[in-house]
Amino acid sequence: MTPTDPTTTAGDTVLEVEDLTVQFPTDEGLVEAVRGVNYELRRGEVLGIVGESGSGKSVTSLAVMGLLPKTARVSGSVRFNGNELLESTDKQLSRIRGRGISMVFQDPMTSLNPVYTVGDQIAETILVHNDISKKAAHKQAIELLETVHIPNPEQRAKSYPHELSGGMRQRVVIAIAMANQPDVIIADEPTTALDVTVQAQILDALRTAQKETGAAMILITHDLGVIAGQADRVMVMYAGKPVEKGTADEVFYTPRMPYTLGLLGSLPRLDVKTERLTPIAGSPPSVINMPPGCPFSPRCPLSDDICDQEEPDLESGSDSGHLAACHFSYRVEGHEPADLFRPNAEDPLPAGATEGEVIE
């Protein structure tokens, strides 16, 4: 097993996911959390995965790490530097986790063990994968804290997690993720649990970590705003499946799936004035015992009979790399969110609100 092949160069595929499905048997029925995900991650690039909660984006990445609960049924293929991860033993996976692929979780308040100092927790991940002294590992831990812009790193390394703010803790988690120069960093909603004011700093820290290590990054979020300006390519997920894939520009400027358009419409924009947000009505479907047809159909303004009968495949349109799963993707192209998802005219504005204000 050679996790870092020196001959590979930028642009090579480090992570390849094919037909990944994840199912959880529960009392209420089979939960199909992931229903066929494909993507490739090239060295050094940033892939954004967007979707509402329950769309399977987090489960996908946990499946890649081999960290799903034992009850999960996983099938398909996950290849990391050519090695099939789904067939690897836990021992083999342990060598890749934290060194080949590392992860940043959503909630920094609970991600760190409360009874160890942050220095110890960073050093631990170094010691697991490298045969060096504890002292050397601690020295590296302090350097890592400095890299993610934590002031007084020597002192902070001796702190316990509860003595640090949420933003600081997330920096520590990022330091852990970059400690062993991984090829892939998976950041699962890294800013969701944080204050808006801290979010940009954390994204900066992630970007620094990615640049320093040369790792590819998967940035998972429900917030298109987080992806914008960060991701090279974007994959939109809905009900366990990718529904649109393309470069960031393609997905942001010429979406081909009504759901993506809806997501864009519910994003407050600074560049467009006097325009109300256009919400997507309804909520994502339950992924237990799903009916046939397109899962977005009940919420979709373009929905027709065929949408209830047949689930569309991911298909490319005129521009070859840009895929969308919609029977009517040609009707989406070139439209603004408000064209499809009308802001409800009968819904009066709240008192004191003026047109164009953010309505939550």
CB of 113 to another protein, least distance (A): 4
Q: Is 99 in the site for another protein (CB under 8 A)?
A: yes
Which residue in 47, 176, 202, 209 binds another protein (CB under 8 A)? 176
Give the contact letters, 185-214, x = binds to another protein (CB under 8 A), - = no: ------------------------------
Contact yes or no for 181/126 (Cβ under 8 A) = no
CB of 98 to another protein, least distance (A): 3
CB of 340 to another protein, least distance (A): 10
Q: Is 360 in the site for another protein (CB under 8 A)?
A: yes
Q: Is 265 in the site for another protein (CB under 8 A)?
A: no
Of 214, 213, 217, 163, which is closest to residue 190 (Cα–Cα)?
A: 217
Which residue in 12, 16, 40, 107 binds another protein (CB under 8 A)? 107
- What whole-number distance in Å separates Cα of residue 333 and Cα of residue 261? 9
Q: Is 346 in the site for another protein (CB under 8 A)?
A: yes
Which residue in 125, 170, 191, 213 binds another protein (CB under 8 A)? 125
Q: Is 72 in the site for another protein (CB under 8 A)?
A: yes
Q: Is 241 in the site for another protein (CB under 8 A)?
A: no
Contact yes or no for 258/340 (Cβ under 8 A) = yes
Contact yes or no for 259/52 (Cβ under 8 A) = no
- What whole-number distance in Å separates Cα of residue 79 and Cα of residue 96? 12
Q: Is 110 in the site for another protein (CB under 8 A)?
A: yes
Q: Is 272 in the site for another protein (CB under 8 A)?
A: no
**CA separation (Å) from 302 to 109, 307, 326, 332?**
42, 9, 10, 9
Give me the DSSP letters along 344-356.
-TTSPPPTT--TT
Choose the binding region for another protein from 5-13, 201-209, 319-327, 341-349 (rule: CB under 8 A).
341-349
- What whole-number distance in Å separates Cα of residue 106 and Cα of residue 193? 6
- What whole-number distance in Å separates Cα of residue 301 and Cα of residue 40? 31
Comparison of 253 and 342: residue with beta carbon closer to another protein: 342
In 27-146, the DSSP E strands lie at 29-42, 46-50, 73-80, 83-84, 101-104
- What whole-number distance in Å separates Cα of residue 197 and Cα of residue 186? 22
CB of 265 to another protein, least distance (A): 13
Which residue in 111, 170, 221, 230 binds another protein (CB under 8 A)? 111
Which residue in 1, 67, 136, 349 binds another protein (CB under 8 A)? 67
Of 22, 31, 39, 33, which is closest to residue 76 (Cα–Cα)?
A: 22
- Name the strand (E) or helix (H) holding 238: strand 233-238
Give the interface with another protein as residue ranges (CB under 8 A). Answer: 24, 27, 31, 33, 59, 65, 67-69, 71-72, 90-91, 94-99, 102-103, 105, 107, 110-115, 124-125, 128-129, 160, 162, 173, 176, 180, 279, 281-283, 285-286, 291, 297-299, 301, 303, 308, 342, 344, 346-347, 360
